[in-house]
Amino acid sequence: MSSSAGALRRVVAAVAMVSVSALATAACANFSEQSRSERAGTFTTVPPQQGPGDPPTQQPRDDDSEAGPPPTGPCVDPNPGVIATCLETTSGVRPAAADGLSTYVAERTTGKIFVSKRYGPQRLIATVPVDGAGDGGLIDFEMSPTYQEDQLIYALISTDSDNRVVRIAPGDSVKPILTGIPKGATGNMGSISFASPTELRVATGDAGSGQGLAGKLFTIDPNVDDPTPKIIASGLGSNVALCPDAENGRLYVADHSSSGDRLQQVESGGLRKLWSWSDTPGVTGCAVAGGLISVSFAKAFRIDTLAAPTNASPSVGQPSTADVKKDFGAVARMTSTGDGLQIATVNKSVPGAPSETFNDRVAIYLPQGGSDDLS
């Protein structure tokens, strides 16, 4: 077992002792000097940040007994699985290191993206102006596939007039890549994920109407001007979340619709339904780790886990359900760290979230269960 994998396992073990949990994944692309000066839209220049984009250099120690007493303060969480805290309502989350012990996390309503690890430092690496009304704002983000060299971040955001895909560079303007995605009072939450440096997958909420590029799954080349979306599937609802499986290249999508919440697999002919929740608990995120698909339901304070389909068994088994209200509260977006997950909370925007989890945060979570029983 590698030292980084061992470190993650030890953190998860410590988490289990106090009932804890986790998530991750990252990506993006390059642009020329000419494109830097074009199509800046109405957005302002991003102010340079100290050490922009550098992931934390000091990782948590493998042996907590050698780490000394933890720091104190209002933003120190006693839960050993928490790697970012004192956040506003979160949206996208991505791992900042291969071991999953540090994270990039976005605040939906402020348009800020931070890099953090347990006990800090927690640094602001980017800000984009957004309209955070309803469920809009900084909806999701992805790091460039060559992020350590170019420091580029791509984001799906809401403005006062539309939803759009933009590119953010340190000290440079926020550049619109694809504009005019319909925006609604609700139904704006979507997701982005890189299939390759020239193929960005975009899943959009239906914005209450499903018109135009709303409620669609499509791909664009983010390196060209005015990219033409290639539609893969239509009919998506709200709170759309993409969950790629890095091990086998499969892609899943979870969403909330009037007829129930759904988990679907993206195939060449469109979407294949794997599971549905007729009681509509309100899906808010999904991620794949260790052969399991986890789906979060913020308002229900739970995470359901299903066995991922295989060539031998193309269906999914009965979900197992974990109540996470006491430990984390309302969990929304999630991401894979390999065997585990990073999970981000939205307690500040969900009524009934327990007061002790009011500060939104990112934590390590190891999914359990996922039955082969289809009954």
Predicted confidence (pLDDT) per residue in 197-255, tens digit: 999 999 999 999 999 999 999 999 999 999 999 999 999 999 999 999 999 999 999 99
Of the candidates 249, 292, 298, 254, the one whose C-alpha atom is nearest the C-alpha of residue 273 is 254
* Whole-number average pLDDT of the chain: 84
Report pTM.
Answer: 0.84
In this prediction, what percent of the chain has a pLDDT beyond 90? 69
Of the candidates 11, 206, 29, the one whose C-alpha atom is nearest the C-alpha of residue 117 is 11
Buried b (16+ CB within 10 A) or exposed e, 5-32: bebbebbbeebeeeebbbbbbbbbbebe
Per-residue confidence (pLDDT) for residue 76, from 0 to 100: 85
Of the candidates 259, 264, 292, the one whose C-alpha atom is nearest the C-alpha of residue 277 is 259
* C-beta of residue 266 within 8 angstroms of C-beta of residue 217: yes
| 5 band by pLDDT with thresholds 50, 70 and 90 | low
Predicted confidence (pLDDT) per residue in 10-53, tens digit: 555 554 444 433 333 333 333 333 333 343 344 333 333 333 33
Q: Which amino acid is at 317?
A: G
CATH of domain 3-65+75-365: 2.120.10.30
Q: Where are the domains of the chain?
A: 3-65+75-365
**Residue 70 CA: distances (Å) to CA of 66, 77, 126:** 11, 10, 28
- Residue 135 has phi, psi (to 5 degrees) of -110, 25
Q: What is residue 311's three-state secondary structure?
A: coil
Residue 121 has pLDDT above 90, yes or no: no
